[in-house]
Structure 1
Amino acid sequence: MTDGTKVTNIRIAAVSDLHCTKHSQGALAPLLQQAAQAADVLVMCGDLTDYGLPEEAHVLARELQGVRTPVVAVLGNHDFESGHQTEVTEILTTGGVTVLDGESVEVCGVGIAGIKGFCGGFGRYSLGPWGEAGTKAFVRETLDEALKLESALARLRTPQRLALLHYSPIRATVEGEPLEIFPFLGSSRLEEPLVRYPVSAVIHGHAHKGYPEGLLSNGVPVYNVALPLLRRLHPDGPHFRLIELPGAEA
């Protein structure tokens, strides 16, 4: 017996690794509009541009002009390549995209925390902060990203919470990539705040040849939504991942 209340699910369309170039005009708009029309929120998990150039960001902003649903994103390593990540962020923000870097936002009743993340390896094979200054700085970068994620997660008060990263927090979703590059695809240190402040789902990209889904140690689903991976797995589309989260009772 029901009391007549209805629960409307919140649909999240997710894609990553668009690698928009100066010549991508018209190439990405159909995908982005299709994803947005299927969902209440569109999220993009880094490598939005190919070389992190302002010109590329302007192209992507134009490709997003037909999108009417809220768009939330994080940057990826490619977006940092040319040292213009601040300008890239400003261009996308002006175009209506909420770009997170250690911040959180509530959209359609879902709390979203986002960081780029960093690398370092997984489990017992994670790189430790020992030895040369360069090695310690490398590990510190990952720790700083994990702390940013923890801070963003701690501010969320919504029943449904989502974490966006570019780098993976678990090994399972990078399986399929060459073993030699596993340490550069993510870090287990990014998983620690996700377990301390549980979320409904984790979404990332970066691993183009990885695996589409896995689980955190607490059973929370992790989705790899890199566009090259989605295109390979689903050649006929859709080339985005649709995730549904329970909404509030109406």
Structure 2
Amino acid sequence: MENEVEYGNKKVRIAAVGDIHIRESDKGKWSEYFKEVSRQADVLLICGDLTDTGDEGEAEVLAQELKSCTIPVIGVLGNHDYEKGRHKLIRQILQNNNMTILDGEAVVVEGVGFAGVKGFGGGFDGHMLSMFGEGAMKAFVQEAVDEALHLDRALARLDQDHESIKKIVLLHYSPIKETVKGEPEQIFPFLGSSRLAEPLTRRNVVAAFHGHAHVGQLKGETSGGVPVYNVAKPILSRLGYEFPFFVLEV
């Protein structure tokens, strides 16, 4: 097991990957991957960019490939899934095929609470964009603020409905700078936002997973000590994972 966190007697193996970028030509190419995930984990998280160009045909291929997966699958959408404005259709196709897509919601699986949002950009730490200037800039910042609020509300519902539950967060965009290092600094504002990190610490999240930055670092942590994992498939492949998914046991 790659990492292990002790929480009582029950342990749940959580597999996570992001940026799988399914294409219509991928039919039959993912079956063994999902079978292997099912052998090694109890839950699979897919952290956005489920499709390559945001086409519903790609979502249909993923839905078929996921039939080889015998464990619960939870995901969030990524920016690629929004490319053609068909994100609602992509979500519907996957949810009709036994995948849970979170967008400001939470779900409990195997006794663990999962909360998810896509997230958004805006920059990190002292270099976050501020709500100032042109309307377009204010709208950009507001999107990040709204995503952070949606995440906080999802975590709050878990706290309200399930006392002392272990909480895991799924994102596409990063909540910290450390896991996007390796990408050009000029594009950091488009890779994530520190606004997403605040709810992780305040709500005592066990760990957070994201993707989006293909040339980043696998692990970092928030200023409050919450582990954050960039599980973008290209990173896991670069690190030598035969089957590129990361497993955390909680």
- What is the Cα deviation at residue 99 of structure 1? 0.4
Q: Is the 8 A contact 2:32 2:68 kept in 1?
A: no
| Letter paired with 2:151 | L
- State the match for 2:186 in structure 1: 180
TM-score (norm 1): 0.93
In 2, distance between residues paired with 1:214 and 1:29? 31
Aligned residue among 102, 105, 110 for 1:103: 105
1:94-173 alignment, distance < 5 Å: 94-156=96-158, 157=162, 158-173=164-179
Aligned to 1:232: 238
CA-CA distance at 1:33 after TM superposition:
2.0
Number of residue pairs matched? 239
The offset of 1:237, in angstroms, is: 1.4
Of 45, 51, 54, the residue aligned with 2:53 is 51
- SS of the equivalent of 1:95 reads coil
Q: CA deviation at 1:214?
A: 0.3
SS where residue 124 of structure 1 aligns? helix
2:210 partner letter: H
Residue matched to 2:224: 218
Task: Determine the structure 2 residue equivalent to 1:3.
Answer: none
* 1:41 to partner: Cα distance: 0.4
Taking the aligned partners of 2:105 and 2:136, their CA distance within structure 1 comes to 28
Q: Given residue 72 of structure 2, which amino acid in structure 1 is its aligned partner?
A: P
User: Deviation per CA, 1:116-155, whole angstroms, max 9, x where unpaired?
Assistant: 0000000111111100000000000000100100000101
2:249 is the alignment partner of 1:244? yes
Give the secondary structure class of the aligned counterpart of 1:155: helix
Does structure 2 retain, via aligned residues, the 8 Å contact 1:13–1:241?
yes
RMSD: 1.0
Which TM-score applies when normalising by structure 2? 0.93
2-structure distance, mates of 1:193, 1:160 = 14
Question: How far apart, in 2, do the equivalents of 1:201 and 1:29 lie?
Answer: 28
Partner of 1:208: 214
Equivalent AA in structure 2 for residue 21 of structure 1 = R
The alignment status of 1:38 with 2:43, answered yes or no, reads no
Asked if 2 retains the 8 angstrom alpha-carbon contact of 1:33 and 1:64, the reply is: no
Deviation string for 1:50-89 (max 9, x for gaps)? Answer: 1111100000000101111111000000000000000000
Q: CA deviation at 1:218?
A: 1.3
> Distance in 2 between the 1:149 and 1:36 partners?
27
Amino acid aligned to 2:49: D
Letter in 2 for 1:243: L
For structure 2, list consecutive stretches of 5 or more residues without a partner in the other structure: 1-7
Q: 1:36 Cα shift? A: 2.2
Runs of 5+ consecutive residues of structure 1 not aligned to the other structure: 1-5, 246-250
- Whole-angstrom distance in 2 between the partners of 1:171 and 1:36: 31
2:204 aligns with 198
The answer to whether the 8 Å contact 2:28/2:65 transfers is: yes
Identity %: 52
For the residue of structure 1 that corresponds to 2:67, the secondary structure is: coil
Q: Which amino acid aligns with 1:88?
A: I
**How many Å separate the matches in 1 of 2:12 and 2:219?**
20
CA distance, structure 2, for counterparts of residue 30 and residue 173 of structure 1: 28
